[in-house]
Structure 1
Amino acid sequence: MSLVLGALLGLGLLLVVSPVLWPARRSETRASLATGRIRDELALAGLARVPMGVIIAIAAFLGIVAGALAQAVFAIPVVTFVAAVLGVVLVPIVVRARATRRRAANRAVWPDVVDHLVASVRAGMSLPDSVGALAELGPAATRSAFASFEAEYRRTGNFSTCLDALKGALADPVADRILETLRMAREVGGSDVTAVLRGLSGYLREDAALRAEVTARQSWIRNAARLGVAAPWLLLLVIASRHETIVAYDSPAGTALIIAGVVVSVIAYQAMVALGRLPEERRWFH
């Protein structure tokens, strides 16, 4: 009996410490999720075909240039380091901002995409032809992706594989829902696909209108966050034109002050943005 209890105790302890002893799968999952998010951001920003190495090289180049300029102007090591870091992170910031703007712009066109699909299906066109027709009839922002789908489908004739490629090119959760609805209708059949698409179109219009209203009301939060972060550093640039100021910051106390200012600025900006950020839909079907 004691042997059984000892074995159970050992098994329980092993299960308790197993996440610490074997975290490889979990870390791989997190790494794959992070990679997928980066690819989605690049696709939304229109940079899906740009190799990751090129983006990293551009970020490193901007960091070197920003650090060199800061060193030439201020000759303060901590300022040089901060400028180099800002130069590196400038590329991800620009990519994310462009992806956010494009996601917001696409949110307004998805109802039109669904309406075109409904009209094509009701006219008797097949689902692949209805999707391919969006290369000419759909909104301008999405025509290139649907044109690639049409060309790929004519080449392979595999609707499911082409849908997967189209989802990757659009990189949008709303597009995933629309395309998965078409995939289900293609595979299992059904006469209610137009009714489902019409209901989805109505929901997307209501959601887009609500988000636009809330975003307009909360725009002051984002503007206040940007002004609050930029103002101290602009003031630092102004007073740094005097030699006495540069000498004061080129000391252990000045270095500590600048580092503390950077940390506080980042935390405050992230907190302000989090207060004004609307929850984004996640991609469940990619």
Structure 2
Amino acid sequence: MKRKFGVDKSTLTSLSFVVAGFVIASLFSRSALIATAFALFIAVFIFIAQKRGGSKRRSAIHGACPEMIDILISGVQSGLSLNESLSGLAQRGPEIFKVEFQRFTENLYTHGDFNRALIEVKESMAHPSFDQIVEALLIARELGGAELLTILRLLGKFIREDLSLRREIEVKQNWIKNSAHLSAAAPWILLLLLSTQPSTSQAFSTPTGLLILGAGLGITAIAYFWMNSLSRIPDPNRIFIDVPQWST
């Protein structure tokens, strides 16, 4: 990610949203306290959204694994070696894998250790389904490639079934989660509308009003974290992540 003056782009974007929220709330309420609370609410929302970015990357890797397996099967069936099939993913593989397999090809040419180069890709991707593919390839290469196609087909079928089940669960959960998010945001939207009245701004400028704003912000933050935690589908454990797999 590009950086400017030592600050990455996502941080600048987040800060701009928080500042914009503060300015808009100030224009509506004419109260610095209400505007600050509203800006903090936006900051909490952005923080949670950014944490979900890692989850989106994991979902993208999971979704691309079946396509990767199909390309490997096609390459092996056409007479390519496993090395050539994997290197070919840098050009015609899923977009999320291209950079890593370009690095795999470069590492393979540099030190010539297939296992080491593949494990380096595995550690970079850090996903259970990708782990399964890598371990299947390493086992098939160690024992001989006679069963490679059978192993890849079975693994591809398993990953597709798991992916289909997860997507079905996510679709059913999304409308519930979106409704819960809207319910959590509704009091703040109502506060912003009511704060156009001077009496509301004055009420929340008192110590009691400040306490209510702080408690409301804390409860909203806890509710958001709780909702996202409950709705997250747990990933299976990664396999063979602490065992060195390359030769010395």
TM over 0.5: yes
Q: Which has the higher contact order (CA 8 A, sep 6+)?
A: 2
Instruction: Summarize the alignment of residues 170-189 of structure 1 with structure 2, pairs less than 5 Å apart.
Output: 170-189=125-144
Instruction: Summarize the alignment of residues 1-286 of structure 1 with structure 2, pairs less than 5 Å apart.
Output: 54-55=7-8, 58=11, 62=15, 65=19, 69=23, 73=27, 74-77=30-33, 80=36, 83-84=39-40, 86-87=42-43, 90=46, 92-189=47-144, 191-286=146-241
* Aligned amino acid, residue 11 of structure 2: I
Listed one character per residue, the Cα deviations across residues 225-259 of structure 1 (whole Å, up to 9, x for unaligned) are 21111111111111122222111111111111112
Mark the CA change 1:283 to 1:81 in structure 2 (over 3 Å): closer, same or farther. Answer: farther
Query: How well do the aligned residues superpose, as a CA RMSD in angstroms?
Result: 3.3
Moved more, 234-243 or 68-77: 68-77
Return 5+ residue gaps in structure 2 as ranges.
Answer: 242-248
CA contact (8 A) 2:72 2:86 kept: yes
Return 5+ residue gaps in structure 1 as ranges.
Answer: 1-46
CA contact (8 A) 2:71 2:93 kept: yes
SS in 2 for 1:215: helix
| Sequence identity (%) | 33
CA contact (8 A) 1:118 1:194 kept: yes
TM-score, structure 1 length as denominator?
0.68
Mark the CA change 1:152 to 1:209 in structure 2 (over 3 Å): closer, same or farther. Answer: same
CA contact (8 A) 1:70 1:80 kept: no
SS in 2 for 1:191: helix
Listed one character per residue, the Cα deviations across residues 40-90 of structure 1 (whole Å, up to 9, x for unaligned) are xxxxxxx5x97xx74599379828846964896554447526735753773
* Aligned amino acid, residue 154 of structure 1: Y
CA contact (8 A) 1:116 1:138 kept: yes
Number of residue pairs matched by the alignment: 237
SS in 2 for 1:278: coil
CA contact (8 A) 2:66 2:160 kept: yes
Structure 1 ranges of 4+ moved more than 6 A: none
Mark the CA change 1:185 to 1:222 in structure 2 (over 3 Å): closer, same or farther. Answer: same
SS in 1 for 2:189: helix
Deviation, structure 1 residue 162: 2.0
* Aligned amino acid, residue 174 of structure 1: S
